[in-house]
Amino acid sequence: MEYNTLFKLARTMQGITQTKVAEAVGIRQPSLNAFELGKASLSLTTRKKIAMLININPDYISDPTAPPFSSKEVIFMRLPEDNLLPEKGFQLIYFLAEHNKTFEVLILFSNTIFARKALKDAITEKPVVAIVCKDQDNNIFFFTRKKNAAGQIINGLELKAELNKRSIEEKPSIIIEEKAVNDNLLQDIIQGNVSRSQLESIFEQKDFIMLTKAEQHIIQRKREMGIEDATILQYLNALNTKT
């Protein structure tokens, strides 16, 4: 991913305007816009200043082997509303997976009575309400819907399938888990009051599921048969339930 694309994604998904960034680093908004569109360049010093405003690691700007993000606090992100197209909607999550030796993903869902009332647009049995990621440097990213933080995230299953696929083919260590959240945590998600300690406690439960060699073999065989990843995952989940 080019730097200008990464900057634009990180800025927009954190709800930070071009005007705010431009004023903070002492440049004109049209100059920043041109940079994000790939039509102009900015000095290394300016790019590093912008990076710090949007939680990108300034060292990454001059060293692509450095961790891309850096923040002691939770990095809150809003997914594009067009995430009906998983490759586009989850673009930043895929980028993070590719640039970390270890990458943990929590797919949070809720199907309680309170959740059914709060998630008025829920269309699945286990509506995904948030996606939480942790990179190799313990940066925590919290993804929710853009227009409706309490809304269901579409294509959570497809995200899981794609990350599993990349883990097998590209061999980064990607750990993925679906986890039910209680009503208290769901309410915090809706209100945007989720803390780092809350999320760390979920990660520390250490009940992640790693794909076994047998499961990887099943996935490869069924892909050769032309079966879609979402269907393969449902098959694997059914096998795990029986055992």
Q: In the chain, where are the structural domains located?
A: 1-70, 71-208, 211-243
pLDDT tens string 179-209 = 888 888 888 887 778 899 989 888 887 554 4
Q: Is the pLDDT of residue 123 over 50?
A: no
Q: Is the pLDDT of residue 171 over 60?
A: no
> Checking phi first, is residue 166 left (phi over 0); if not, alpha (psi -120 to 50) or beta?
alpha
Q: What pLDDT is recorded for position 138?
A: 92
Q: Which residues contact 92 (CB under 8 A, 6 or more apart)?
A: 9, 10, 13, 77
From CA 1, how far away is CA 95, in angstroms rounded?
7
Chosen CATH of 1-70 out of 3.40.50.300, 1.10.260.40, 3.40.800.10, 1.10.10.10: 1.10.260.40
SS3 category, 14 = coil
Angle in degrees, CA 70, 105, 219, rounded to 5: 135
pTM for this predicted structure: 0.76
H or E stretch covering 140: strand 140-145
For 92-107, the three-class secondary structure string (H helix, E strand, C coil) is: HHHHHHHCCCEEEEEE
Question: If you average pLDDT over residues 62-67, what whole number do you get?
Answer: 90
Nearest CA-CA partner of 131 in 118, 122, 140, 119: 140
pLDDT tens string 152-163 = 565 666 787 778
Which class would CATH give 71-208? alpha beta
Q: Is the dihedral of CA 219, 220, 225, 229 positive or negative?
A: positive
Q: Is the pLDDT of residue 120 over 50?
A: yes
